Amino acid sequence: MRVSYHEDYVIPLPPRHSFPMPKFSALRDLLVEEAIVSPDNIVAPEEADWDLLGLVHTRSYLESLRCGSMAMSAIRRMGFPWTQALVRRSRLAVQGTVNAARMALEDGVSGNLAGGTHHAMPDHAQGFCVLNDTAIAIRFLQESGLIRRALVIDLDVHQGNGTAKIFEHDQSVYTFSVHGEKNFPLRKERSTRDVPLPDHMEDADYLRAIDTHLPSALNESEPDIVFYVQGVDIVKGDKFGRLNVSRGCLRARDERVIRSVAERGIPLVLLLGGGYAATPELTADLHAEMHRAAASLGLISSPQPAS
């Protein structure tokens, strides 16, 4: 499997910042160690063009991001201090998702070892999400004539509110979000299919919710490509998750999603979304369950040569 990754996905943050920045490099190392991804199949993106970002984001927001002229309130809402490195990493991650989508169309499955920054709105950053990589990639593929319809399966414990808002009136993009009803963001947007969950939900109920709604989302959307925003913040012990779901359940969920998409022969893009386990290394290990699931299903057994 070819994946997008860049060493500058990882940037310095202030001490005790709650975002597990080292998870990106830790995940890369794990996937190489476990021979799920060969180093030859790691494709480094360049920074996405500002014009590409403009497919989704407003000119004034992009200008404030580029110049570092964001208001303090906007920076607080973003959750990261503004730095040139942050702007660069955000643009790299967007291009990483765009590249992964193109590779998925060619190979069947691909991923970005970042991405799924689903809270980003057209005109502002929010909740550690600066740019909405998924939405930008979908608009790019549509404008290029590579796809007509897309499905976003967002199983991060927080609602994919930015993605939902961006495609609210766009029938060509189906947004499916399963999330904690009482969790962030407090004000939810309307996805095509929303599945709100109560706090403290356990494995059996969680998987039942997935089994109930996943086939409908796939059948109703008739997509040319699926973007999977994994999210490992459903797992018990996550700092921001509030569910009581086990690691085994996470793996079972990821297998269900990947198998359901692969069985239908639809190209699949694997994106990380959030995760706030005890350490960045554990968070990376949980994200890797998605790639292990793809490997166990035989989807990535014959690595494609890099191109």
Q: Tell me which amino acid residue 114 is.
A: A
Q: Which stretch binds Zn ion (CB under 5 A): 2-10, 30-38, 229-237, 251-259?
A: 229-237
Query: Could you tell me how many residues of this chain bind Zn ion (CB under 5 A)?
Result: 4
Could you tell me where the beta strands, DSSP code E, fall in the chain?
3-4, 42-43, 109-112, 150-154, 173-180, 193-197, 225-229, 268-271
Closest residue by beta carbon to Zn ion: 274
Q: Report the site for Zn ion in 57-76 (rule: CB under 5 A).
A: none
Please tell me whether residue 274 binds Zn ion under the rule CB under 5 A: yes
Least spacing, CB of residue 262 vs Zn ion, in Å: 25
Angle at 142 between CA 140 and CA 144, to 5 degrees: 70
Sorted by sequence, the CB contacts under 8 Å of residue 44 that are 6+ apart come out as 4, 5, 6, 7
Q: Is 290 or 295 the residue whose CB approaches Zn ion more closely?
A: 290
Instruction: State the nearest-atom distance from the C-beta of 90 to Zn ion, in Å.
Output: 17
When binding is defined by CB under 5 A, the residue of 6, 89, 139, 158 that contacts Zn ion is: 158
Residue 272 in contact with residue 116, Cβ under 8 Å? yes
Structure tokens at 194: 């929303």
Which tokens hold the place of 241? Answer: 């998750």
CB of 156 vs Zn ion, minimal distance in Å: 4
154 contributes a contact to Zn ion by CB under 5 A: no
From the list 226, 24, 19, the residue with the least C-alpha distance to 110 is: 226
d(CA 289, CA 254): 7
Distance CA 225, CA 217 (A): 13
CB of 46 to Zn ion, least distance (A): 27
| Min CB(274)–Zn ion separation in Å | 3
User: Whats the size of the chain, residue-wise?
Assistant: 307
Task: Determine if 233 is a binding residue for Zn ion (CB under 5 A).
Answer: yes
The phi-psi region of residue 265 (left if phi > 0; otherwise alpha if psi is between -120 and 50; otherwise beta) is left
| Binding segment toward Zn ion, per CB under 5 A, in 12-20, 68-76, 167-175, 226-234 | 226-234
Q: Report in angstroms how near the CB of residue 275 gets to Zn ion at its nearest.
A: 7
- Residues in contact with Zn ion, shown as a per-residue x/- string from 21 to 60 under the rule CB under 5 A: ----------------------------------------
Rounded least distance, CB 236 to Zn ion, Å: 15
Per CB under 5 A, the segment of 52-60, 131-139, 159-167, 271-279 that binds Zn ion is 271-279
**Please, which of residues 106-125 interact with Zn ion by CB under 5 A?**
none
CB-based contacts of 73, cutoff 8 Å, min separation 6: none
Q: Which residues lie near Zn ion (CB under 5 A)?
A: 156, 158, 233, 274
